[in-house]
């Protein structure tokens, strides 16, 4: 059993802020650990959200981005990601929170990267503690199967994690 209740695939044809980093056409693959009703209740916020989880529930060295995206939550990024060091954004892994809970995990992948027909396996940084027990992925794959002419984006290498009491 995974901690996920549902997933969404969001298409951002012009990308989004910040300009010059995530403004390329890309897909957001959100794996939600909250109900869809709770997700739909998330309201926007411009400043830093004070209702964040304890640090042990977010992988190091992830940092909180300002604001709260409606119907998604607060986004957390790895400041060591290549796109934040001047490289062109191709793929990255995001965490999302809402009301002191980890709400989602998200591979974010550009259309150009998917079209390049890659075969790549990336590590997913995991926190030291978990709020919800279940099987969590430690990697995600982006690949192309030429015989089936299909693109594959998948979470892999699951291991069971106990939740804090």
**End-to-end distance of the chain based on CA atoms, in angstroms?**
18
Instruction: Write down how long the chain is.
Output: 165
Q: What average pLDDT does range 23-35 have in this prediction?
A: 98
The band of 18, judged by pLDDT with boundaries at 50, 70 and 90, is confident
Domains in the chain: boundaries:
6-117
For residues 98-118, average pLDDT: 97
Residues 59-73: tens digit of each pLDDT:
999 999 999 999 999
* pLDDT, tens only, 111-146: 999 999 999 999 999 999 999 999 999 999 999 999
Q: What integer best gives the mean pLDDT of the chain? A: 96
Whether residue 17 is predicted with pLDDT greater than 90 in this model: the reply is no
Which residues are CB-neighbours of 27 under 8 A, at least 6 positions away? 9, 10, 11, 12, 108, 109, 110, 111, 114, 153
Q: How confident is residue 149, by pLDDT bands cut at 50, 70 and 90? A: very high
In angstroms, the Cα distances linking 4 to 30, 35, 40, 45, 60 are: 10, 9, 16, 25, 22
């Amino acid at each position: 059993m995974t901690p996920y209740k549902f997933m969404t695939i969001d298409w951002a044809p012009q990308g989004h802020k910040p300009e010059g980093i995530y403004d390329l056409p890309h897909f957001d693959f959100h794996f939600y650990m909250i109900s869809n009703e709770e997700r739909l209740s998330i309201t926007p916020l411009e400043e830093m959200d004070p209702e964040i989880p304890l640090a042990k529930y977010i992988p190091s060295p992830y940092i909180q981005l300002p604001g709260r995206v409606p119907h998604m939550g607060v986004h957390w990024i790895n400041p060591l990601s290549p796109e934040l060091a001047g490289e062109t954004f191709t793929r990255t892994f995001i965490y999302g929170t809402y009301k002191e809970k980890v709400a989602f995990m998200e591979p974010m992948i550009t259309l150009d990267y998917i079209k390049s027909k890659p075969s790549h396996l990336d590590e997913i940084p995991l926190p030291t503690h978990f709020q919800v027990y279940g099987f969590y992925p430690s990697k995600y794959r982006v690949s192309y199967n030429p015989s089936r002419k299909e693109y594959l984006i998948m979470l892999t290498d699951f291991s069971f994690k106990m939740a804090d009491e």
